[in-house]
Amino acid sequence: MWDYTDKVKEYFLHPKNVGKIEDANAVGEVGSLACGDALKLFLKIDNQGRIQDAKFQTFGCASAIASSSALTELIKGKTVEEARKVTNRDIAKFLGGLPKEKMHCSVMGQEALEAAIKNYLGEEAAKIELDGELVCECFGITDKKIRKAVIENNLKTVEEVTNYTKAGGGCEKCIPKIEEILAEVSNEYQPIPVIKTEPAPEKMSNIQRMQAVVKVIEDDIRPGLQMNGGDIELIDMEGTRVIVSLRGSCQECPDSQLTLKDFVQSGLREKVDPAIEVEEAE
């Protein structure tokens, strides 16, 4: 399970400003149900350009709901110009932090705000959103969106890009292009970081690795899947290669590969061994 702060839990279990503003004069919509996350933001802005009210409708995980709720609290009472300065980092900070794998939820909130403000100003937000070269076909992510996330959040790795944008979290065909964008941005904006050498971690034996994998699956991964009607079975292990079989609702879910990579593999890499590769049994 993700390590959520108390504030994230509060804003997920008791979200604020949920719903629709019937006479909203600014609406921003981002994401899609096909990608698993969607957010629609409604703003009521007065004649002085101040946000009187903000509400949201979202389809997504706990972090998406908490981030959307936090966003509305952050911008209510602000002028449009003040709200424009709110970033995804402000949303995450307001919540006391988000798991790195869920930072894309705060980015989605910032994008919805930008889209709503563009709508209020009469600009074509949808066309701007789609501008650029399509990099990740699985989630419809363009090179401009990736570059923006990399620059604003000082991202260094493909994994970080996936955490913030979802790009690379599906079939992984776009990973070489993401690496290319990271290299370009690094050359343009950032000096090459000095990497401090640290003692190599103690090598884990195969038996130790297997025991750790079993424990993480039983204690963390299986309960998370069972909450949504799914389950998982460990079939075999060959070194860092972990073969599993998804059960229940996960077996028929169209996003089963995303579950394997973003939830199962990510959890095992974080808590057992970063070299672990998870595969689904044939």
List residues with catalytic annotation: 35, 105
CA distance 280 to 211: 19
270: its two tokens: 């974080």
Cβ density class 271-281: b for 16+ within 10 Å, e for less: ebbeebebebe
From the number of C-beta atoms within 10 Å of its C-beta (0-12, 13-18, 19+), residue 161 rates as buried
The 3-state secondary structure of 108-137 reads HHHHHHHHHHHHHCCCCHHHHHCCCCEEEC
CA distance 90 to 211: 40
Q: Is 239 strand, coil or helix?
A: coil
